[in-house]
Amino acid sequence: MAWPDESGTAQANGRVLEVSNLNAGYGPLTAVFDADLHLDRGEVVALMGHNGAGKTTTVKSVFGLVKARGGTVRYQGEDITGSTPRRNVERGMSFTPAEQFVFGDLSVRDNLRLGALSNASAERREARLDQVLELFPILKERSNQLGGTFSGGQQRMLSIGIALMSDPKLMLLDEPSLGLSPAVVEQILSTLRRLADEEAMTVLLIEQNMKYALEVADRIVIMHSGRTKLEESAEEMRNRGNWWDLF
């Protein structure tokens, strides 16, 4: 399976996302303080930390759902600080929230087709639909079933499939393992790893479970009290053996 870019040629290797001194929050509350983060093409990075550490706010600010109060977000070298989610999707980004986000009264196929509306080419939309269905066989088997009748794990697969339909160069995912069985988590994480390895898609995921994070990530970034506290390779993190002091 291939995920070609618009020109049909591979993009050059390089920095996909760079977040510098990011500050963000809600109303009078600042939840993120001077956060730094970067991802290179084809890399999977897990953003970890305790509840309330600022992980989701950071990712939502990158995507444009939460306005940055300071700092810079650069995507493929372009300053996109303050850009809208719609414009960021057009640039090649996707965001999958922690909530089960599917259209319950639409079939699997129609859910997936909605994810590709940013692509004007009907031929490319249908080709991508076939690719996503191959990635998740359960969606292919039940492609005419209503999304709202799926289990939590199946809805999570469908929500990731919807994000993939836009052919993202950068996927942002908020806790893809939340509330799912280990078998479903393994399938989702292995799919993300495969897309990173084979198609050079870049993935930033929020995760609470260190075991799952180490299975898929190249690097781990720890947040604590709204700040990026530590960054290590997955190998370095495995060698620690004990992670309680990080949180």
* pLDDT tens track, the chain, 247 positions: 444 444 333 344 599 999 999 999 999 999 999 999 999 999 999 999 999 999 999 999 999 999 999 999 999 999 999 999 999 999 999 999 988 779 999 999 999 998 887 666 778 888 889 989 988 899 999 999 999 999 888 898 899 999 999 889 999 999 988 878 888 888 889 989 999 999 899 999 999 889 999 999 999 999 999 999 999 999 999 998 778 778 7
pLDDT of 1: 43
pLDDT of 119: 65
Q: How far from the centroid of its chain's Cα atoms is residue 232's Cα?
A: 19
Q: What are phi and psi of 241, to 5 degrees?
A: 80, -30
| Topology of the domain comprising 14-92+171-233 | Rossmann fold (3.40.50)
Q: Which residues contact 163 (CB under 8 A, 6 or more apart)?
A: 94, 95, 96, 115, 171, 173
CA angle 174, 97, 88 (to 5 degrees): 100
Nearest-angstrom CA–CA distance, 102 and 112: 9
Helix ranges (H only) for 97-208 are 108-114, 122-135, 137-141, 152-164, 182-199
CA angle 237, 169, 200 (to 5 degrees): 60
Neighbours of 3 (CB within 10 A): 16
pLDDT of 120: 61
Nearest-angstrom CA–CA distance, 55 and 52: 8
pLDDT of 172: 97
pLDDT of 243: 81
Neighbours of 215 (CB within 10 A): 16
Per-domain boundaries in the chain? 14-92+171-233, 99-167
Check: CB of residue 85 under 8 Å from CB of residue 63.
yes
